Each structure stands twice: as structure tokens, then as C-alpha cells.
Amino acid sequence: MKIFGRCSYKGTNYYGWQKQVDYLSVQATIEEALSKVYNSKIDIVGSGRTDAGTHALKQCFHYVCEREKDLNLLTYSLNKMLPDDIKIISLEVVDDNFHARYSAKRKVYEYHIVLDGKDPFAYEFSYVFPMDFDFVLFKEALLYFKGEHNFQNFTSKEEDEDNFIRTIYMIDVDKTDNLIKVTFEGNGFMRYQIRNMVGSAMSVASKKEEMSFIKNRLDNFQERNIVSYKAPSCGLYLVDVMY
């Protein structure tokens, strides 16, 4: 039997989603709780990784089990067992052919920026940015990333993995008072891609770089020249996974 789950978490205290030796991860924490309930080892497969300190409003996963359980009761039990910064939203039975990662069609992320010299209530959930910032330039720079592009200079992914072509269907930039929310919807995002895109756009908005900095590195099929502007993980949220 294959079970599909949705969860949310505050990523501050975790070394990312994926389990790693000697580091606390969201995946390992959920697996430990599931294994106790089923009284057998349960391995879960996520829709993708999130970085250390990155948050999720809706991360998705699946696992295989042999015994049928009341999934509403199981959801309740898991939430009693899990720490306060992880919540199981729902569990449901799915077809055996379903895969949390490979069946995903689109993903939605948000990046939050607070324009302030210092904000003790925002630093775990946003990039608190103290420098001068041109919002119009920031938005213009980000919109260069919309569409199908080669993002090899905006990811740390190794060259011998999949190709670097990704499609970003939507980029929305909203500013309310001193809070900026950037929403990305695409067919997939590579390691550090969003953080590098946001960081590069911020380098333009703060007048460290010209707009040509982004133009020259996007769709550049020559020798890799990965950007060095990476926005911190605390401002990044996985919002939704679409199947």
C-alpha cells in the first residue's frame, strides 16, 4: 500500500529536508515517528529537497506500508508525536505508480525579504536586508528569469547530472510596506537556483551590479561561471507541489 502525505514545517532547526548522518532533518524526524506507529522501519520519499533553514507550507512525500491504518487517526497521532515545528497536513492512499518526486508537474516557492536594518521577529522567516534597495530594478531583474532558460550559472548542481534547462511559468513580485514577497512557479528548481536568482536580482537592486550581470549569465552555454550572490535560506518557502 502506498500512502501520500502533505506536511508543513519551520526549517530553522533542521539541516534541510533530506536525512543526513549526524544532522537533524525533517525527513528523518517524520520517518522516526512513522516507524514507531507502524512498529517497523518506514522510509519516506519527498517531492524534493529543501535547504537547511528553508521552510515549507506544503511539502509532499510518499511511503509504502504493509498494514492498513485509519489515516485520520494516524495523522492525529503523528502530530502528537512530532515536534511543534512539523505538522502532517493530510495522508491518503494513492496508486502504486504514484511517486512524490517524479509525478510532480509544477512547484511553487516564495521568497520573503524584509527591508529593515534589524528585525528580531523576522530574521528566521525572511531575509532582513539593511541596504538601499531599488524595488523597480529588483522586479525588472527577476522578470528576466521567466520562461525557459539555461540556469547553469544559477545552480550548484554538478555538470554530469541532468541538463540545466528549466521553465519558470510565473514570477510575481509584491511589496506591502517593508515586506517583499516573490512567488515562483515552475516545472522544477535546481539546488540553490531560487536563492541565487533572488541574490543576483538584489545585487542589481542595491547597485552592486548592472542588469547586464544577469543577462550575461542566463542562457550562457559556454564555460560555467556560477553567480556568487546567494540569498539566505531563511527567506525561502516551498508553498505547493502540483501533480
Q: What is the pLDDT of residues 2-28, one digit of tens each?
A: 999 999 999 999 999 999 999 999 999
Residue at 140: amino acid letter = E
Q: Is 141 helix (H, G, I), strand (E, B) or coil?
A: helix
Q: Is the separation of the CB atoms in 46 and 55 below 8 Å?
A: no
Helices (H), the chain: 26-38, 71-81, 135-143, 193-205, 212-217
Name the pTM for this structure. Answer: 0.94
Amino acid 76: pLDDT: 98
What cell numbers appear for 82 in the block?
512530532
Amino acid 116: pLDDT: 87
Amino acid 98: pLDDT: 98
Q: Is 125 helix (H, G, I), strand (E, B) or coil?
A: coil
Catalytic residues: 51
Amino acid 8: pLDDT: 99
- Largest CA-CA distance found in the chain, in angstroms, rounded: 59
What cell numbers appear for 136 in the block?
523597480
Q: Taking phi first (over 0 means left), then psi (-120 to 50 degrees means alpha), and beta for anything else, what does residue 16 get?
A: left
Residue at 197: amino acid letter = M
Q: Please state, rounded to an integer, the average pLDDT across all residues of the chain.
A: 95
Nearest to 183 by CA among 140, 147, 138, 236: 236
Amino acid 231: pLDDT: 98
Give the Cα separation of 91 and 3 in Å (integer). Answer: 7
Amino acid 161: pLDDT: 60
Positive or negative: CA dihedral 26, 110, 77, 91 = negative
Strand partners, 235: none
pLDDT tens sequence across 164-185? 999 999 999 999 999 999 999 9
Cα–Cα distances in angstroms (integers) from residue 116 to residues 128, 129, 179, 189, 235, in the given order: 6, 6, 9, 29, 14
* 50 burial type by CB count under 10 A (0-12 exposed, 13-18 middle, 19+ buried): buried
SS (H, E, C) 187-231: CCCCCCHHHHHHHHHHHHHCCCCCCHHHHHHCCCCCCCCCCCCCC
Amino acid 117: pLDDT: 80
Using 70 as the pLDDT threshold, list the residues of the chain that sit under it. 159-162
What cell numbers appear for 234 in the block?
531563511
What structural domains and CATH numbers belong to the chain? 2-94 (3.30.70.580), 106-242 (3.30.70.660)
